[in-house]
């Protein structure tokens, strides 16, 4: 048996742009990320160019509210593995991800990458490392049940064995769902009409890109609540405080992304304040899935079908502004039964799953 080629571990520089002279490691990291996610989810569709993925990721890496660092494993001048660490400001927790291309597994690359980012996390004073691993639907065999009572992860997955070996515990299972567009037009129209009727006293407002000035304060509150009001099971989540100034800075960074963002809010007419929001991130290539991102209704405004109203309104806007879009994908916790029911009613169907893990470090 021939020896595995030697690998080196190197830090990732956050470049000014994906075509900058120092962008090679960042682009290579993005290529490994998208290839491995597609593999784990069982996605055989053509993948976007690494430069496109890198350009979509770069604004988040430039966001000073969350410090992002990375390591890459290099073999023969090619990036074959990556490890990333996202560390929100003023928090004890962080999020790590490790992935290695299939043909380079079994050589200790993943272990070396993980040990590297754990060391970075401990040196930064973090007490908890969290992780999410994807897996395709329909995998059989013995399963490890989530402590929430909703969902499980196959024990024989390489990612399951890897994380258990490094001391992680399973906390939650998420579901990746997909909606084929344009969907059943009559059913969607009927559901939208019913949602509007149930949401008497509310109206919707939609925009593309930058948040209008009049909604900055309201969106800051909604984004803050998004960090605490969704089911997190045993995952650690420090309140992520947003301000109008942070919204502006975030919008500045997102304007550099090739993706377009559609936002719909529900406005409580009696107070003029936003009661909820939902977002869609639309890639530049129409054949790629649109990403359904945050959806939240403030606790005091629930029970009026606002989640359904906002999602359907945003999907209608998507069809009008980006008619070539073919699918929408969204991730929700399996224990977030209400939002899953909303998605199922819209027409979303399970596509893949994700396991969410937690480990205490630095003590």
Give percent of the chain with pLDDT exceeding 90.
Answer: 89
Judged by DSSP in three states, 249 sits in: helix
pLDDT (mean) for 33-45: 93
H or E, element range at 293: strand 290-297
Establish whether domains 8-174 and 182-325 are of one fold.
Answer: yes
- Summarised one tens digit per residue, pLDDT across range 87-132 is 999 999 999 999 999 999 999 999 999 999 999 999 999 999 999 9
Closest CA to 11 of 62, 78, 70, 57: 70
Residue 363's pLDDT is 61
| CA separation for the pair 122, 114 (Å, rounded) | 12
Examine the pLDDT at 337 and tell me if it is beyond 60.
Answer: yes
- Summarised one tens digit per residue, pLDDT across range 161-218 is 999 999 999 999 999 999 999 888 888 889 999 999 999 999 999 999 999 999 999 9
- Summarised one tens digit per residue, pLDDT across range 297-308 is 999 999 999 999
Look up the pTM and report it.
0.92
234-246 in b/e form (b: 16+ CB < 10 A) is ebbeeebebeeeb
Side by side, the strands of the sheet bearing 260-268 are 8-11, 66-75, 78-88, 93-100, 128-136, 349-360, 169-180, 327-333, 290-297, 273-282, 260-268, 202-208
**Superfamily assignment of 182-325 in CATH?**
Gcn5-related N-acetyltransferase (GNAT) (3.40.630.30)
DSSP letter, residue 64: T
Residue 187's pLDDT is 84
Residue whose token pair is 């006293």: 201
Q: Where are the domains of the chain?
A: 8-174, 182-325
Closest CA to 32 of 130, 105, 108: 105
Cβ neighbours for 315, distance < 8 A, ≥ 6 positions apart:
179, 181, 183, 188, 280, 328, 346
Average pLDDT of the chain is: 94
Residue 1's pLDDT is 34
Residue 239's pLDDT is 93
pLDDT (mean) for 278-286: 95
Residue 184's pLDDT is 82
CA 218 vs CA 149, 249, 269, 307: distances in Å: 35, 16, 14, 17
Examine the pLDDT at 148 and tell me if it is beyond 60.
Answer: yes
Lowest mean pLDDT among 26-35, 215-224, 227-236, 353-362: 227-236
User: Are 98 and 82 a contacting pair, CB within 8 Å?
Assistant: yes
Residue 188's pLDDT is 87
Work out whether strand 152-154 and strand 143-145 pair parallel, antiparallel, or are unpaired. antiparallel
| CA separation for the pair 202, 223 (Å, rounded) | 19
| CA separation for the pair 198, 360 (Å, rounded) | 45
User: Are 202 and 266 a contacting pair, CB within 8 Å?
Assistant: yes
Judged by DSSP in three states, 339 sits in: helix
- CATH-assigned architecture of domain 8-174: 3-Layer(aba) Sandwich (3.40)
- Summarised one tens digit per residue, pLDDT across range 288-335 is 999 999 999 999 999 999 999 999 999 999 999 999 999 999 999 999
DSSP letter, residue 361: -
| CA separation for the pair 262, 321 (Å, rounded) | 10
Cβ neighbours for 207, distance < 8 A, ≥ 6 positions apart:
262, 263
Residue 4's pLDDT is 58
Judged by DSSP in three states, 201 sits in: coil
Q: Burial, 327: exposed, middle or buried (Cβ in 10 Å; 0-12, 13-18, 19+)?
A: middle
Residue whose token pair is 């990333």: 84
């Amino acid at each position: 048996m021939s020896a595995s080629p030697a690998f080196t571990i190197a830090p990732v520089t956050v470049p000014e742009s994906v075509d900058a002279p120092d962008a090679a490691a960042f682009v290579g990291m993005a290529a490994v990320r998208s290839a491995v996610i597609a593999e784990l989810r069982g996605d055989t569709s053509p993948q976007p160019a690494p430069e496109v993925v890198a350009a979509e990721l770069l604004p988040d890496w430039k966001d000073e509210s969350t410090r992002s660092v990375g390591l890459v494993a290099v073999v023969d001048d090619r990036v074959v593995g990556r490890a990333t660490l996202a560390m929100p400001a003023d928090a004890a927790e962080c999020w790590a991800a490790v992935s290695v291309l299939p043909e380079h597994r079994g050589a200790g690359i993943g272990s070396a990458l993980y040990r590297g980012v754990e060391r970075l996390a401990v040196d930064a004073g973090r007490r908890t490392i969290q992780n999410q691993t994807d897996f395709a639907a329909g995998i059989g065999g013995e399963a490890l049940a989530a402590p929430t009572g909703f969902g499980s992860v196959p024990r024989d997955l390489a990612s399951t064995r890897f994380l258990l070996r490094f001391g992680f515990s399973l906390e939650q299972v998420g579901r990746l769902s997909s909606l084929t567009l344009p969907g059943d037009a009559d059913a969607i129209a009927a559901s939208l009409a019913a949602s509007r009727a149930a949401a008497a006293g509310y109206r919707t407002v939609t925009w593309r890109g930058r948040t209008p000035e009049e909604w900055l304060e309201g969106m800051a509150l909604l984004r803050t609540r998004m960090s605490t009001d969704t089911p997190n099971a045993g995952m650690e989540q420090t309140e992520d405080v947003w301000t109008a100034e942070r919204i502006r800075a975030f919008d500045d960074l997102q304007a550099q992304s090739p993706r377009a963002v559609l936002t719909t809010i529900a406005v409580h007419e009696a107070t003029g304040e936003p009661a909820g929001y939902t977002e869609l991130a639309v890639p530049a290539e129409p054949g790629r899935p649109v990403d359904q991102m945050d959806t939240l209704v403030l606790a005091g405004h629930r029970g009026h079908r606002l989640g359904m109203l906002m999602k359907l309104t945003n999907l209608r806007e998507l069809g009008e502004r980006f008619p070539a879009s073919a699918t929408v994908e969204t991730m929700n916790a399996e224990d977030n039964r209400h939002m899953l029911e909303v998605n199922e009613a819209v027409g979303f169907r399970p596509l893949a799953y994700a396991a969410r893990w937690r480990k205490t470090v630095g003590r």
